[in-house]
A and B are shown apart, each in its own frame.
Chain A
Amino acid sequence: MKLKSGLMGTIAALVMGLGAAQAEGVKVGMITTLSGGGAGLGVDTRDGFLLALKQAGEAGSKVDLVIEDDQQKPDVAVQIADKMIQSDKVDVLTGIVWSNLAMAVVPSATAQGKFYLSTNAAPSQLAGAGCNARYFAVSYQNDNMHEAAGAYAKGAGIGKVFIMAPNYPAGQDSLAGFKRFYDGEIASEVYTQLGQTDYAAEIAQIRASGAEAVFFFLPGGMGIAFMKQYAASGVGIPLIGPAFSLSQDILPAVGDSALGIKNTSSWSPDLDNAANKTFVDGFQAEYGRLPSLYAAQGYDTANLLLSAVAKADVTDAEAFRAALAAADFASVRGKFRFGPNQHPVQDIYVREVVKVNGVLTNAIVGTAMTDRADAYADQCKM
């Protein structure tokens, strides 16, 4: 009798324990940029993530989310990460937009046993020798879009390209990525200042270069300024960019100057699959605007997280990692899986800026690369 009641007690405790674990779900800290000039990207990341949780209903409510603004400053991001890990006791971190902030936060967060799911930044250091079992890039490896632009330029038979990026690590990686798959002639390789807003000098060089196309990586306000000035200059050489220069958060500000510009992206609002349709329609209904690449990546990250939470408990790190690595969710990018370094293996498309019902957006015109992993996976020893 005594034994029986003891057994019952143990079973009851077990059941209750399980129930508690199920109800508790997972605690997630989102660090992203919600103020200043880069806020548009963070706002879209957050809104995409929240939309996925909302659409998941009951399952989504198991994710306990804390969101904080990193002001696009590495030191602030580090402080927030420390606070989230130590006092909020989060299990998973996510949301950082910029590579320099990711480099400041990710290595120490994973060293403290936390999972990090990247919604955007995936610098080469974390894809190669610095890869980590608790770090997943759900977005793309930083070089991917640039590599795809190079592959596209080669495939389109463009013989001579003018290439341009800001003079900082991501800019240098960008031009290196482009050249990795482009074997034609480089008319000129120009590094601009980070944050530069006047491109008259560069446009004069482009005009004089005799190039057949211009590849430019100028994220945010830099790209807006360049495209407007380029359109006004009367230089007609076609532009090619990575998705960041022509993302949905930027297009309305550039206006018709952007029409017809080719850009490479792992996602596009017109990608034909059921998950993407649910996402794009849901996003427009919820927020009254078209989603950007950052919103799509935030949405995919949340769905990946939900798929892992449904399979494994976050306290069982190995099981949870395996559940994440399986990538068992319906991605808005269609087919999606992780490579051995836990970075995506996915198709990269060529998009063109078009106007649909008076709104500027992107439409897919081809595929630049199929099942592209990244250039650093070999160096990852995991």
Chain B
Amino acid sequence: MVLFIEQALNGLQYGMMLFLMAAGLTLVFGVMGLINLAHGSLYMVGAFACAWVAAATGSFFLGLVASLVAAAVAGALVEVVVIRRLYHRDHLDQVLATFALILVFSEGTRWLFGSFPLYLTLPPVLSGAVMLPGGLQYPLFRLAIIGIGAVVALGLFFLINRTRLGIRIRAGEADREMIAALGVNIERLYTIVFALGAALAGLAGALVGTIQSVQVGMGEPVLILAFVVIIIGGIGSIKGALIGALLVGMTDVLGKALLPGLFARVMVGSDAATVGSALASMLIYILMALVLLVRPQGLYGQRG
């Protein structure tokens, strides 16, 4: 039972990590109608900025701030220099251009920081494990990620639903010509949204890089999962991204934890492990297919 609760917490935590990544992507995709494959590169920029600043100053928290700033600046630059020219082009052009950006970012990072993974670790305040009620020992940093994810989700809800910027973002999503006609500087709004999405990706990169590895190409595997999340949740919906991320996180972790055991009841040990883990890795895509079958626009999607 304790094991099951621990795995459920792991699923929640993994879902929150995915949410941090997917929130920025869904914002950009929903508001600007842009497929941004380079979102994973901004995630990498955040992780490298955090690792570099943390190593230079000795402070992990300064590193976190640096990850937000670096990813936002990189995002704003990319929007002004490249992305701005793509809004009126079709999705294939966007995919091509942002794929090129992945290559530019990857080799640029390798050129700046070298070929070897960087060192980034937890600050003493957040390292180690805590004892939860029920005798469950759980890493403190994973609890912190759950907390940070919740704060970001609340912050985004507030921003989108309660602020002037949020009204403009929602209006831009509904009809970009109309709000431009009403005197809103749509170009600046887009730059802000893109930088905001980039900053979220950067933060996710720094947090995740801390317990994973900071290396070139770290963003691409997560990018695929983030796309799965926003497709399940519905494109453009922050609420959808949150629910989708938690669903994917839970499905993935519980699938990995339970399936091999289930197969072991009907098969021999080694085969059960292979088949069970193979099926577990497919589960989230099966989930995505099922959601698409029932609700093609995603759980909270607006457009058909």
Contact = CB atoms under 8 A, between A and B. Distances in A.
Contact of A201 (B129, B253, B270, B278): B253
Nearest to B3: A208
Interface string A198-209: 101110110110
A34 B107 CA distance: 10
A189 B269 contact: yes
Given A200-B142, A201-B257, A234-B128, A193 B121 contact: no
Contacts of B278: 167, 191
Nearest to A232: B139
Given A232-B141, A234-B139, A197 B221 contact: yes
A191 B273 contact: yes
A50 interface: no
A190 interface: yes
A221 B212 contact: yes
Given A200-B253, A201-B257, A233-B129, A36 B216 contact: yes
Interface string B3-24: 1001100100110010000000
Nearest to A175: B270
Contacts of A234: 128-129, 137, 139
A37 B216 contact: yes
A271 to B, nearest CB: 22
Contact of A35 (B106, B218, B260): B106
Nearest to A205: B257
B115 A39 contact: yes
B116 A253 contact: yes
Contact of A198 (B14, B140, B257): B14
A40 interface: yes
A366 interface: no
B217 interface: yes
A37 to B, nearest CB: 4
A100 interface: no
Contacts of A250: 117
Interface string A226-259: 0011001110000000000000011011111100
B274 interface: yes
Interface in B1-45: 3, 6-7, 10, 13-14, 17
B180 interface: no
A141 B239 CA distance: 51
A204 B212 contact: no
Contacts of B176: none
Contacts of B118: 253
A253 B139 CA distance: 20
Interface in B138-178: 139-142
Interface string A27-53: 000000011110110110000000000
B262 interface: no
A167 B274 contact: yes
B118 to A, nearest CB: 6
Given A190-B260, A192-B277, A201 B212 contact: no
Interface in B258-280: 260, 269-270, 273-274, 277-278
A273 interface: no
A251 B117 CA distance: 9
A172 interface: yes
A252 B216 CA distance: 15
B104 interface: no
A302 interface: no
A204 B7 CA distance: 7
B115 A193 contact: no
A262 B128 CA distance: 22
A204 B119 contact: no
Nearest to B17: A198
Contact of A200 (B13, B137, B215): B13
Nearest to B141: A232
A144 B17 CA distance: 37
A261 interface: no
Interface in A175-204: 175, 186, 188-193, 195, 197-198, 200-202, 204
Contacts of B10: 200-201, 204
A197 B205 CA distance: 12
Contacts of A207: 3, 6, 137
A208 B7 CA distance: 11
Nearest to A194: B281
Given A36-B216, A229-B211, A224 B117 contact: yes
Most B-side CB within 10 Å, residue of A36, A195, A208, A249: A36
Contacts of A330: none
Contact of A257 (B115, B121, B141, B277): B121
Given A191-B274, A192-B277, A200-B13, A37 B212 contact: no
Given A35-B110, A39-B110, A224-B212, A252 B14 contact: no
6 contacts: A167-B274, A190-B277, A197-B208, A225-B212, A232-B140, A255-B119
Interface of B: 3, 6-7, 10, 13-14, 17, 106-107, 110, 115-122, 127-129, 137, 139-142, 208, 210-218, 221-222, 253, 256-257, 260, 269-270, 273-274, 277-278, 281
Nearest 6 pairs of A and B residues by beta carbon:
A234-B129, A37-B217, A224-B213, A253-B117, A200-B10, A39-B115
Given A189-B273, A220-B215, A234-B139, 9 more contacts: A36-B110, A191-B278, A192-B256, A197-B208, A200-B10, A202-B256, A232-B139, A232-B211, A233-B137
Interface of A: 34-37, 39-40, 42-43, 167, 172, 175, 186, 188-193, 195, 197-198, 200-202, 204-205, 207-208, 220-221, 224-225, 228-229, 232-234, 249-250, 252-257
